[in-house]
């Protein structure tokens, strides 16, 4: 079995992300946050150990099941790291449903239409946070999590809804490709 990650993002303004950014900075007073981006991540598991990148590209080009090309763009296996990016100023928060859907109907449709050996397709969100300066990431993580997920209410939960979602902090090498 081999797993691939398909990172999707909106090509145009992500209003949900813009609202979250403004609320964290203005409403919660976290001025150290300078940028917030949101990625949808498909975790695709194939039965064979072969490289399935061309198959994934075909599925994307010939259907709207994984990516809507009118609204979204994508990266395979992670976000390309540019030399000008200071990765010490980035925090990445992965949010997944507590009860992950197996997406059996989606997997069946993709298997039938593209004759692929796809086993599972699950989706999660990754929030990429850029800070104004490098800092102790553990302290910042605790500060942000108390601010954005410190609720047990059904109506609250900012980046993470703790009743329905789980989260984990991702290391730089789990998110960015081409790191030297």
- Using the predicted structure, report yes or no on whether residue 128 has a pLDDT greater than 90: yes
Find the helix packing angle between 104-114 and 53-61, rounded to 10°.
100
DSSP annotation of 71 reads: T
Mean pLDDT over 11-21 rounds to 92
**Other CB atoms within 10 A of residue 61 CB:** 9
Read off the pTM.
Answer: 0.88
Lowest mean pLDDT among 26-30, 119-123, 136-140, 163-167: 136-140
């Amino acid at each position: 079995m081999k797993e691939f990650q398909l990172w999707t993002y909106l090509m145009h303004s992500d209003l949900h992300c813009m609202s979250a950014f403004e609320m964290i900075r203005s409403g919660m007073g976290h001025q150290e946050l300078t940028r917030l981006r949101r990625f949808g991540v498909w975790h695709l598991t194939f039965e064979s150990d072969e490289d399935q990148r061309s198959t994934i590209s075909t599925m994307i080009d010939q259907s709207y099941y994984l990516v809507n090309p009118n609204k979204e763009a994508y990266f395979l296996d992670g976000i390309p790291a540019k030399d000008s990016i200071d990765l010490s100023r980035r925090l990445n928060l992965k949010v997944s449903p507590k009860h992950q859907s197996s997406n059996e109907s989606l997997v069946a449709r993709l298997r039938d239409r593209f004759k692929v050996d796809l086993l599972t397709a699950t989706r999660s969100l990754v929030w990429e946070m850029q800070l104004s300066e490098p800092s102790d990431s553990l302290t910042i993580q605790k500060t942000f999590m108390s601010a954005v997920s410190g609720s047990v209410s059904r109506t609250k939960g900012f980046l993470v809804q703790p009743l329905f979602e789980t989260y984990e902090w991702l290391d730089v090498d789990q998110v960015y490709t081409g790191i030297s």
